[in-house]
Each structure stands twice: as structure tokens, then as C-alpha cells.
């Protein structure tokens, strides 16, 4: 056996102020009650919430505080993610800290949740690291998991546990739960998917084993989720099959097909026909964007400037996710549901999707 204890912390996240003090308190409680835990994972954007107003450079004082906590408790620590400013761009970045307090790597979310996570640039490099005498780990953030290529890339490089901080406060959480299970089964690995609460999501974090079965699913309130896993189960599944049935990684290895859709210069006329990546809006506006209705022939008046979701139709550039960027952003003190991007024809949302 290769037992290893990982804990997820599902906690409220506030967009209008920092959450680091509460994160420290939750970790103090966790390590007091469950001192055997060896790795701790928080949700996406847990330290400061989903406003790009708080974007900062790395390394920074907040990351150093987390390094001190990792040293104090002798644990591996992934404190969610924070918006990072780098080369005049904003990234959604997660740090991995070892028990000595050293940052072993930083991972930039590859697929921002466009068109809603506006103003955030996607990363291009994977982060994989080894826990000595235990196994291999990899990071994925929220919407990354909707793209199976990301998880498969981790798996074929030997990753046995995918840590997946997420911020999902939208109505597609049920879909994400099924994706987490499918990712675990298709890649024959453990998946720790930790969501936040309040402005940080609707909870329902999930932990899945290498056969795709749910080891634990949280509710919609604050929870500490300590789970001991046996990484030998991953190797056994990959050698003998999921439930001793299908062996997807071996089949992927032994395939005859070449997936040319991934070639860099490959043209995809159908994908181009889908139109721009933009927020859905009223049907008349969509028809104008796709040149189905000429503006002069439509009885519908153009929308007033500033209505969320109509930026592409009116020719105005959309603001970054949660505000106007790292400089001059929406004041977080005024941040409430009315300031976040929503579909003007849809139901109200109490927190931004991820």
C-alpha cells in the first residue's frame, strides 16, 4: 500500500475582501482535528475571490504566508489560486508548496471560463511534481477539466492524483460532478475537486477514485474533507483495468488512429462557422452579429451602452472578469451580484461562474 492523506477545505469566499485569515483559521482547525493529513487543497481563487482587482505579481506576501503555514504543519499545500499580473496580462495562478515551505511550481489555468472570465489569459504549461515515496501529482483548475486533453496529458506522464480547485457557482455544477467522475475513470486516477462557497461557489466538492466511483461528495455548507487514499490502486487499475474491465490508458497507448485535429496548423471550417466566443444575448442581437438580420431591417432598437452581454453587438470591448482589470477595477467594496456579468435575459445569479 501507498497510503497518503489529502484534505480539501470547502469554505466561504468573499469577493469584497481578502479571505486569507479565514483560510489560516480553517487550516489550524483541520490540523488540530486531523493531524495525520499530509496535503491540503483549497478552492479556486480562495484567497481573494473572483475579482481581478486583487491581481498581483508573484512571488508575493500572501504566497509567503502560505509557505510559512506549510512549514509550520509540515504539509504539502495548494492554497487555491490567485490572479497574477505578469507581462501586462492577468493569469489565474495556483502555487504548490512543499512541507519545507518551498514553492515547487506555479500553474496558470489553461482555459479561462470564457466568455465570462473576461480579461484573463490562459496558460500553456502543465505542472507535475512527485511526492517522494508516494506518487505523482498534477494540477488542473476548474474549466480545464472540460477539456479532456488536459487530464489525459497529465495521466500519460504518470500522474496518479489530479488536484482540481474550482469555483463553480453556476447551474452546471451537476455536469462538472459527472466530468470529475469521468476524468477519474478515463484516466484511472484519483481526482480531488474542491469547490468554494458564497462568492466562491456552491460547494458540493467531490473526490473520485481510479475506477470513477465517488469516494466522497460534500454538501453545500462549510466542510473539512480529509481522505486517505492508496496510490497503489492507481497502478493496479492501470495494469488490470477499471473494475478489471476496460484498460483505457493501454488502449490509448496502443491506438492505430492519429488525431490530426490537434495539429497546430489544421483548419477547422466547422468550428469557425460557430461564430465568435461571446456571451449569449437577445436573439435579434445574435442574428445581427451573424449577419442574418441587417441592422436597418430589424425593428429592435440597439441596446443601451453598458448592458452586460451586449458588448460585442455594440462594438465595445468587454471589461475583465469582475471589473476593469488590475488597475482601475471595480471597487471590491461595491462588489455584489449586480456588478458581475450576467445574461440580461436569464435569471439572477448570486456569484460569478468559473
| Cis peptide leading into residue 59 (ω within 30°) | yes
What is the span of the domain harbouring residue 182? 3-261
Opening angle at CA 96, ends 93 and 101, nearest 5: 130
Query: Is residue 318 one of the residues assigned to a domain?
Result: no
Whether residue 339 is predicted with pLDDT greater than 70 in this model: the reply is no
The CATH number of the domain where 176 resides is what?
3.60.110.10
Residue 231 lies in a domain: yes
**Per-position b or e across 144-178, b if 16+ CB within 10 A of its CB:** bbeeeebbbbbbeeebbbbbbbbbbbbeebeebbe
pLDDT of residue 341: 44
Please state, in angstroms and rounded to a whole number, the distance separating the CA atoms of residues 59 and 106. Answer: 10
Q: Does the residue 72 lie in any domain?
A: yes
Among the listed ranges 22-26, 66-70, 273-277, which one has the minimum average pLDDT value? 273-277
218 against 299, higher pLDDT: 218
- What's the CA gap between 190 and 159, in Å, rounded? 9
**Residue 128 domain flag:** yes
Of residues 183 and 332, more confidently modeled = 183
Cell triple for residue 142? Answer: 476548474
Q: What is the pLDDT of residues 225-273, one digit of tens each?
A: 999 999 999 999 999 999 999 999 999 999 999 999 998 889 999 999 9
- Residue 35, helix vs strand vs coil: coil
- Confidence check: pLDDT of 326 > 70: no
Task: Specify the higher pLDDT residue, 262 or 159.
Answer: 159
Quick check: is 266 in a domain? Answer: no
With cut-offs at 50, 70 and 90, classify the pLDDT of residue 281: confident
In this structure, is the dihedral angle defined by the CA atoms of residues 143, 149, 152 and 153, taken in order, positive or negative? Answer: negative
Q: How far apart (Å, rounded) are the C-alpha atoms in residues 188 and 160?
A: 8
What is the tally of structural domains in the chain?
Answer: 1
pLDDT tens digit string along 28-66?
999 999 999 999 999 999 999 999 999 999 999 999 999
Pairing label, strands 89-97, 82-86: antiparallel
Nearest to 201 by CA among 182, 176, 223, 173: 173
Domain-embedded: residue 302 = no
User: Does residue 275 register a pLDDT over 60?
Assistant: yes
As a whole number of Å, the end-to-end CA separation of the chain is 36
Looking at the predicted structure, is the pLDDT value of residue 290 above 90?
Answer: no
Amino acid at each position: 500500500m501507498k497510503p497518503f492523506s489529502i484534505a480539501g477545505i470547502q469554505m466561504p469566499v468573499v469577493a469584497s475582501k481578502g479571505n486569507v485569515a479565514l483560510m489560516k483559521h480553517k487550516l489550524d482547525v483541520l490540523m488540530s482535528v486531523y493531524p495525520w493529513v499530509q496535503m491540503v487543497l483549497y478552492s479556486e481563487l480562495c484567497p481573494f475571490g473572483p475579482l481581478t482587482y486583487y491581481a498581483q505579481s508573484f512571488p508575493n506576501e500572501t504566497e509567503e504566508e502560505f509557505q510559512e503555514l506549510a512549514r509550520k504543519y509540515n504539509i504539502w499545500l495548494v492554497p487555491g489560486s490567485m490572479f497574477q499580473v505578469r507581462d501586462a496580462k492577468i493569469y489565474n495562478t495556483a502555487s504548490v508548496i512543499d512541507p519545507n515551505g518551498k514553492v515547487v511550481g506555479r500553474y496558470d489555468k489553461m482555459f479561462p471560463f470564457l466568455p465570462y472570465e473576461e480579461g484573463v489569459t490562459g496558460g500553456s504549461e502543465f505542472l507535475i511534481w512527485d511526492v517522494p515515496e508516494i506518487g505523482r501529482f498534477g494540477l488542473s483548475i476548474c474549466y480545464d477539466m472540460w477539456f479532456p486533453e488536459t487530464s489525459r496529458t497529465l495521466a500519460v506522464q504518470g500522474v496518479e492524483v489530479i488536484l482540481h480547485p474550482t469555483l463553480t457557482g453556476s447551474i452546471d455544477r451537476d455536469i462538472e460532478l459527472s466530468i470529475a467522475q469521468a476524468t477519474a475513470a478515463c484516466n484511472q486516477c484519483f481526482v480531488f475537486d474542491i469547490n468554494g462557497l458564497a462568492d466562491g461557489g456552491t460547494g458540493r466538492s467531490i473526490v473520485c477514485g481510479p475506477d470513477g466511483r465517488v469516494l466522497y461528495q460534500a454538501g453545500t455548507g462549510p466542510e473539512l474533507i480529509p481522505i486517505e487514499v492508496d496510490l497503489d490502486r492507481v497502478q493496479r487499475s492501470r495494469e488490470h483495468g477499471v473494475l478489471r474491465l476496460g484498460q483505457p490508458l493501454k488502449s490509448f497507448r496502443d491506438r492505430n488512429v492519429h488525431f490530426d485535429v490537434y495539429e497546430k496548423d489544421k483548419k477547422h471550417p466547422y468550428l469557425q462557422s460557430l461564430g465568435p466566443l461571446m456571451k449569449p444575448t437577445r436573439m435579434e442581437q445574435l442574428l445581427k452579429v451573424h449577419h442574418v438580420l441587417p441592422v436597418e431591417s430589424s425593428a429592435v432598437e440597439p441596446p443601451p451602452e453598458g448592458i452586460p452581454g451586449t458588448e460585442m453587438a455594440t462594438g465595445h470591448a468587454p471589461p475583465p472578469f469582475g471589473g476593469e482589470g488590475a488597475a482601475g477595477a471595480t471597487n471590491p467594496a461595491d462588489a455584489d451580484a449586480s456588478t458581475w456579468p450576467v445574461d440580461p435575459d436569464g435569471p439572477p445569479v448570486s456569484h460569478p461562474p468559473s
